[in-house]
Amino acid sequence: MLRKALLSFFIGSWFISVQAQVKSPEEFLGYKIGSRFTPHWKLVTYFNHVAANSSIKLEQYGKTNEGRPLLLAFISSTENLKNLEQIRVNNLRLAHLQKDAVAAVEDNAPAIVWLSYNVHGNEASSSEAAMLTLYALVDPTNASTKNWLKNTVVIIDPCLNPDGRDRYVNWFNSVVGKNSNPNRAAREHSEPWPGGRTNHYNFDLNRDWAWQTQVESQQRIKVYDQWLPQIHVDYHEQGVNEPYYFAPAAQPYHEIITKWQRDFQVTIGKNNAKYFDQNGWLYFTKEVFDLFYPSYGDTYPTYNGSIGMTYEQGGGPAGGLSILNDEGDTLTLTDRATHHYTTSLSTIEISSLNAPKLINEFRKFFNEAYQNGVGEYKTFVIKNEAAHSERINSILELLDKNQIQYGTGKGSGKGYNYATGKEELFTAGTNDIIISAYQPRSALVKALFEPKSSLVDSVTYDLSAWSLPYAYGINAFASKDKLVVTGIVSRSVPVNAETTYGYVLPWKGIQTVKVVSQLLQKGILLRYAEQPFEVNGNKFDRGSIIILRTANKSFGKNLWAAVRELADANAVQLYPVTTGFVEKGFDFGSDKVHPFKMPKIALLTGEGVNPNAAGEIWHFFEQEIDYPISLINAGDIARTGWNDIDVLIMPDGSYPFLNDKDKQENFKNWINRGGRVVALESAVSQLAKTDPIAIGLGIKQKKMDEGDKKDSNSYEALKIFEDRDRKAISGTTPGSIWKVDLDNTHPLAFGYPDYFYTLKQDNVIYEFLKDGGWNVGVLKKENQVAGFVGAALKPKLKDGLLFGVLPVGNGSLTFLADNVLFRSFWENGKLMFCNAVFLVGQ
């Protein structure tokens, strides 16, 4: 007995000793939080220190493009930490996502609170607050946090975007003086391009939760879905003149958000307000930040059963260590970190006080989804058509990433045809894909697939339309009927037979492009067909790639094995052919079958270019099709070796060189000699407005019909000040879907039907091209499909050009007025972008 008592004494003494070794951030770092920015390696070192000297669990769940670690810290009571895996599994059972025979236990289940800091790298105060929050939770003298952790598991992600944060922090630390300068004109308040907001590829990770195009998102959501917290907070910063924002959110709320989710946002907001009122800190709620677009750090968790929230502190990204706001008050990094730290603890506190209710409502959310399905549509049917096989594979990969269940089955019913916009009868074939609303992820299914999302307020923070069948360009139905899933989707790997003469590779999608990219880089010569053809009993459409022994004799016997190896690695079907004499169409030696040359491609970046737009293209070449590309700063255009460029890509941005006579002349001469330009979004507008480029290239932006001129003294000129926000949006669209008529006989539209779904985010269209120009993508009348369009703008978006090609001398200008690669999730546009780069002007 004495021996046991002594053993308990020594174990207890050791535990107290270990706890006492945990240092505060200030003790460990050697400076007070807020007095300087902490680089990521020091942040990681501090979390490792706490893990080594306390009972928390620290997990590295991944790493960034630049190799920085991504961490999660799990903090709770000693007993909860011992049972952490059981808590996680039980939480999934509550959500019907754990496939076993064990019943979920609701009683005494701890609430899970997940705190995500610093998704935008230059909103850098929240990672500083993460260290303060961690210490408060492990501090043995803090009785309050000890009590909260008895029924709460806290998960801290101290920095979602280490690459962007270090880009900002390292820059700031290199330019700040001995003392910070609060003067807003000081250089420390003006970041160089591209800024620290985005990740390595200049992607905004806070728009990527559902799409998971980026490696940070993919790794994080994989772990997130293994936990599914009841509370999730995403920490941000806003302009220096704004105070602090916390929940409840602004309208519009998506209609699938439950009354409980809405009400508990108010509960949390009131608890936060209590502490801010005590300290005399300003804040606002119910404004600006809505809960609609599904790929944010607040909406995505909300659509997955959580209370998802954004917290926004004034000060980033220009705030530095101190900055004067318009009121003449100095806002410091210490202030900003302290405010985030306060809401962190307040959120944990109110979650602990309501843990049983949080668990109960969480279970209700998933019970309702599983038993009744969310929304009016109970089944979504994707037609599994061979022409769209690569896009269908892509959408299935997205469903897998989001753990959305799907399968096959037979049946018929009535449903909304995405292609026609009408209710029609349909039959689901044995290979068609069925997504039932009767599943745990039902709310997310509705949010991603519904043809048109209901808006209660047209003043939205982001897109108002994103429905996946349009984004992926596939045929589908949304039905109110319940179709039963009876089988699994078979994803057979193509078996590529041997050949002695050649192969044909249909031009279907991005996997095909990736194979072509790799073939070209191996030096294998290719051809492509301008017209459809039939050979050896198979039909092939325009753009099909032809690989022949004739042009590739230098490879000898190794040619076909190399081709098959690349096709097999990308699960792409090759079609063997035995002759160049076709049954229909033009023979392989015809001038309608063109050499597919490997172009040298350059992308303009740097000051004036939209970092997100440039990043989408950079990421696409490197990570999706694995093709070499040179990134050139637009300011260095005068030093460019034009002979080393075949294709120049101009993303959304402003290009001063177009206003410089000498640089402009060099640019035009290069095009006339055979250079090919691919311009997107505002780059097209600038080309259209710049003299003499506009005259030389013949692009003209269409003027919007202003209608009848109103008498300045008429009552219609009177406006209500309170309605100014809504008046302002009457001529805009925050992101709506339109059906574009395509000339799919032109190489820019190879691989498409005679239409394309575009995501329109502005009011710009162009006049039809004349004198040899090709009007490939035309917006006609009444072609809006989904999303909000201002009343003043809607009747004007018609009879204009969005996608066109203009031959210029021996070169060409391809313009894409809309962003066909938007956030890398607009899958439908990727092949068109590849057509613009690889096929147009060959």
pLDDT in tens, 651-663: 999 999 999 989 9
Higher-pLDDT residue of 302 and 15 is: 302
Model pLDDT, residue 1: 44
pLDDT band at 691 (very low <50, low <70, confident <90, very high): low
> To the nearest whole percent, how much of the chain has pLDDT over 70?
95
Q: Say if residue 11's pLDDT is above 80.
A: no
Model pLDDT, residue 715: 64
Model pLDDT, residue 7: 39
**Angle between the N-to-C axes of helices 389-401 and 215-224, in degrees from 0 to 180, rounded to the nearest 10:** 50
Model pLDDT, residue 20: 52
Q: What is the pTM of this model?
A: 0.95
The backbone region for 44, taken as left when phi is positive above 0, alpha when psi lies in -120 to 50, beta otherwise, is alpha
Whole-number average pLDDT of the chain: 94
pLDDT band at 708 (very low <50, low <70, confident <90, very high): very low
Burial track 570-593 (b if 16+ CB lie within 10 A, e otherwise)? bebbbbbbeebebeebeebeeeeb
Q: Say if residue 624's pLDDT is above 50.
A: yes
Model pLDDT, residue 711: 56
| 622/619 Cα distance (integer angstroms) | 5
Model pLDDT, residue 663: 92
| Alpha carbons within 13 A on the beta-carbon side of 268 | 33
pLDDT tens-digit readout, 223-272 = 999 999 999 999 999 999 999 999 999 999 999 999 999 999 999 999 99
Six token digits for residue 738: 């339109």
634-643, long-range: CB < 8 A, 24+ apart: 634/604, 634/605, 634/606, 634/607, 634/608, 634/609, 635/606, 635/607, 635/608, 636/606, 637/604, 637/663, 637/667, 638/662, 638/663, 638/666, 640/602, 642/666, 642/670, 642/675
Choice among 111-125, 188-202, 426-440, 718-732 with the minimum mean pLDDT: 718-732
Number of Cβ within a 10 Å radius of residue 173: 14
User: 3-state class of 585 per DSSP?
Assistant: coil
Rounded mean pLDDT, 71-96: 98
Q: What are phi and psi of 32, to 5 degrees?
A: -75, 140
| 505/523 Cα distance (integer angstroms) | 17
Model pLDDT, residue 705: 60
pLDDT band at 586 (very low <50, low <70, confident <90, very high): very high
Model pLDDT, residue 707: 47
| 230/473 Cα distance (integer angstroms) | 35
Six token digits for residue 566: 């690349």
Position 516, amino acid: V
Q: Say if residue 804's pLDDT is above 50.
A: yes
Q: How many helices (H) and strands (E) does the chain have?
A: 24, 34
